Structure 1
Amino acid sequence: MRGFLTACAAIACLPGVVHAQGALGANYNEHYEDVDYRDLEKADATWVRIFLTMPQLDRGAAEHGVVRTTLDASGRGCKTILSLKWPFPNRDFPKAGSADMAKELERLDAVLPLVMGKVDILVIGNEPYIESREGDRDLDLNAFYEAMAARVIAYRAKACGEACKTRLYMGALNRLDLKKNMTASTDRWMAYVKATAELDGVDIHPHVNSLEASKPFLDYILPRMRPEQKFLVTEFSIVWWWKQNLEKPIPAAFAEKYGVTRTAQNWQVIKAALEQPFAKPHWDDFLTMSPWFETRKHYLRNQMKMFRDTGRLAVATYGFKQGSSMASNFGPEKTPWLLNSVFAPATVRKNADGSTAPNYAWIDDFKALQKD
């Protein structure tokens, strides 16, 4: 642990903008409770990303687990990314001057003094085009997020000025592999990023079914930014490829080795592992013997190469640990996010010291990518 903290602290002493050059870090989504520095040390990871659901701040900003954990990671020398999430699943975006808008600004004002100048990157938005109703994804969405960004920019200027450690990005665009999601609203989103000098760039979340399907994201955003702007990828995966294979038969060799009926489907093996975690060789055998997984086991390495080859990647963060939301009510319709994770506490038995065992495939490439 001392070596990990020393390495993190050394990086923390240098300007964040210098080290935001093609880095790969750990994404925890909202699961701050899953941050374990032993895992980060094993993976040589020095970047940590978590998102904060803004309505939860009504229970107290300083006491919120996401805020406390992010600041703790920063204090230990990790580089940190905090994404601000505004969910609107059942209503339209607040209008300027309304009581609802005042409430959203109040929440923002509560958290900014706690994190500005302490986190390395603050992302204004999490997944606006998913965390809202389809009919509301119009220019009202843009007006709302532009108001939030203006508030953040003004606060940063007042609190720590041009030398501020915290860099700002707008985030994040989803499913740009589908042309229907390139709209007048996303065009305005990118135009705002380009026109706003205080923004370092944009965040994207390419959850796709193939490596090739992530290319339209880059083709869309890169020409729409200033040459010096960069992009984040705080979430990415080929989860939809995993999903396509859940209801397919398990590998015959696996069925024979472990005495499982050959008519069983892949999702049933995953569910069994969630109900009673497998020994690591057992779980590894399931994935190794599955061509749909084994042929994609270097996805992380290949995807990072595509991002880095642009010369404009700031930081990407990959799903780091199987969270509780991934494991609950697992069935053939469940999105199998847990297959992405670098560490597998839900499907693999813990080590003797209580630490989490790594998932199959990802850990070696994750570590190697830290050295590139």
Structure 2
Amino acid sequence: MKNVSRLFFSLLTLSMLLTACSNAKSHITVAAPDTPDSTDYSFKMGVNLNEQVDVADMQDIQDSKTKWVRCFVEVIDLYKSGTLNTDAKIAAFNSLKSKGYKTALSLKFNFLKNGFPAVNSADWNGYLSFINTLLAKVMPYTDVLIVGNEPFIESAPSTWDEPLNSFYKLACDQVHTYFEQNNINKPIFLGAFDNMYQSSLQTNAGYLKLLAFAKTTSYLSGIDLHIHHTTAAEMTNALSFAKSKIREDQKMLVTEFSLMKYWRSYNNTAIAPAFIAAANASSTDDIDPPPADVTKNYQYIDYALKNPRPAQEWYAFWENSPYLQAKSSYLCDAYHAFKAAGNVFLSFYALRQSYPVGQDFTVNTAPWVLNALFLNRSVRQVNGRNQKSYSFLDQFQKIASNENPCE
């Protein structure tokens, strides 16, 4: 009887183990990816469109010679509107792959506008669950995914530690789980961490906590940075600090960078006499002096936005304004900084000028319009085509073609 009992219990135990294994397998939808990441992590520079992909000029993108395009999507807006399947920006972004481009997409959660919902509330869980719905729509057309756009700028400082950290950690986990379940093997980055050259942010608990999460999370390929700065030292400081906070095997993206803060510091400076002299000396209508009441740099920019100038006049403004001419090799300088950092994978620079028609450009306006590769607002088109920037497009095209832009 003892042998029969032992046999019975052995069979019962085996049956329970088989049942447990069967139940466990029923919860697995698709096996995790077992192929290595095939991404080419050599440095490249692409164009940044932000949320403007549906209005961007595709010929301008082609003329830039890059193969990389970066956009962001407003996740909460899409969640609330229920228009994911009809959204023009999503459709335009998804069309980029068919045109031969590689794509990077940032998931933007604007909690400054919407406020953080209570943890585990319907909206909190709804935002996180909606990530799966959104990824199903865009991932076939996305090469690199960034969880976040500017988490700290897009939320109140009082939330930077919590609940910001908890939300973005869960958002990253949501993306990772979706990738595993659907056998997607593409890089996931976290960010963007903005203004990382500022000492107050380098010691901020919320920033450091999220950076520590990125470093210790094995499935994250690295972090994203936004570097809008005044000095070259600020650029290198941000890159150096960020690099010190991640693993050696991780990479950095710079999905936005510019000299916007430098340009803004000269908004209220008088227009350079050399520009006025060049305009007065011109024997053609291509370079005209501004109206008598336009005496400051910001006033000339406002004038050009409301009365697009001939390209030669805009170029003369740059060539004869010392603050602009001094930075005419900016993309060359940025290229050296990114290459010297050693682990920058992708960087993205502004393709176009985005500024509302008829809106005043004031002394306090952030002069993003000075960054662009193409002058679709401040300069007249020629034969229906946007004209190129004073010097930046030439440098960008060399970078996109794997050439040294400084030669």
Do Structure 1 and Structure 2 share a fold, with TM-score over 0.5? yes
Of 142, 155, 174, 1:119 maps to 142
Q: Is 1:297–2:328 an aligned residue pair?
A: yes
Q: Which residue of 2 aligns with 1:39?
A: 60
Q: Which residue of 2 aligns with 1:11?
A: none
- Please give the secondary structure, in 2, of the residue aligned with 1:231: strand
**Cα gap change, 1:131/1:116 in structure 2, threshold over 3 Å: closer, same or farther?**
same
AA partner of residue 343 (structure 2): R
Q: Is 1:364–2:394 an aligned residue pair?
A: yes
**Cα gap change, 1:293/1:327 in structure 2, threshold over 3 Å: closer, same or farther?**
farther
Q: Which residue of 2 aligns with 1:280?
A: 311
TM alignment of 1:314-333, pairs within 5 A: 314-325=345-356, 328-333=359-364
Deviation of 1:326 (Å): 9.2
Deviations 1:323-348 (A, max 9, x none): 13598331111100010000111001
Deviations 1:81-110 (A, max 9, x none): 110100111565334421121221243122
Deviation of 1:293 (Å): 0.5
Deviations 1:110-168 (A, max 9, x none): 2110122430111100001101112221232110100111111000111124xx2x311
Q: Which residue of 1 aligns with 2:24?
A: none
CA contact (8 A) 2:380 2:387 kept: yes
Q: Distance in 2 between matches of 1:263 and 1:45?
A: 37
Q: Distance in 2 between matches of 1:143 and 1:109?
A: 18
Q: CA RMSD in A?
A: 1.9
Q: Which residue of 2 aligns with 1:12?
A: none
**Cα gap change, 1:68/1:366 in structure 2, threshold over 3 Å: closer, same or farther?**
same
Q: Distance in 1 between matches of 2:135 and 2:118?
A: 22
AA partner of residue 38 (structure 1): Q
CA contact (8 A) 1:190 1:225 kept: yes
* Range that drifts further, 87-96 or 19-28: 87-96
Deviation of 1:16 (Å): 8.5
Of 205, 209, 214, 1:184 maps to 205
- Please give the secondary structure, in 2, of the residue aligned with 1:235: strand
- Please give the secondary structure, in 1, of the residue aligned with 2:164: helix
Q: Distance in 2 between matches of 1:91 and 1:48?
A: 28
CA contact (8 A) 1:116 1:156 kept: no
- Please give the secondary structure, in 2, of the residue aligned with 1:203: strand
TM-score when scaled to structure 1?
Answer: 0.90
- Please give the secondary structure, in 1, of the residue aligned with 2:96: helix
Q: Is 1:201–2:222 an aligned residue pair?
A: yes
**Cα gap change, 1:335/1:327 in structure 2, threshold over 3 Å: closer, same or farther?**
farther
- Please give the secondary structure, in 2, of the residue aligned with 1:31: coil
AA partner of residue 59 (structure 2): R
Q: Which residue of 2 aligns with 1:4?
A: none
Q: Which residue of 2 aligns with 1:259?
A: 289
Q: Is 1:210–2:210 an aligned residue pair?
A: no
Identity across matched positions, percent: 28
Q: Distance in 1 between matches of 2:369 and 2:348?
A: 15
CA contact (8 A) 1:90 1:133 kept: no
Q: Distance in 1 between matches of 2:294 and 2:139?
A: 55
Q: Which residue of 1 aligns with 2:127?
A: 104
Q: Distance in 2 between matches of 1:268 and 1:125?
A: 35
Q: Which residue of 2 aligns with 1:167?
A: 187
TM alignment of 1:232-271, pairs within 5 A: 232-256=253-277, 257=279, 258-260=288-290, 261=292, 264-271=295-302
Q: Distance in 2 between matches of 1:222 and 1:285?
A: 39
Q: Distance in 2 between matches of 1:47 and 1:39?
A: 13
Deviation of 1:185 (Å): 1.4
Of 47, 55, 62, 2:76 maps to 55
Unmatched segments (≥5 aa) in structure 2: 1-35, 280-287
Of 44, 53, 61, 1:23 maps to 44
Q: Distance in 1 between matches of 2:316 and 2:37?
A: 40
Q: Distance in 2 between matches of 1:250 and 1:16?
A: 52
AA partner of residue 44 (structure 1): K
Deviation of 1:17 (Å): 5.1
Q: Distance in 1 between matches of 2:112 and 2:206?
A: 18
CA contact (8 A) 1:249 1:263 kept: no
CA contact (8 A) 1:250 1:266 kept: yes
Deviation of 1:228 (Å): 1.1
Q: Distance in 2 between matches of 1:20 and 1:62?
A: 32
- Please give the secondary structure, in 1, of the residue aligned with 2:223: strand
In the alignment of these two chains, the number of paired residues is: 354
Deviation of 1:310 (Å): 1.9
Deviation of 1:19 (Å): 3.4
Deviations 1:31-63 (A, max 9, x none): 122322211221111110111111221231132
- Runs (4+) off by over 6 Å: none
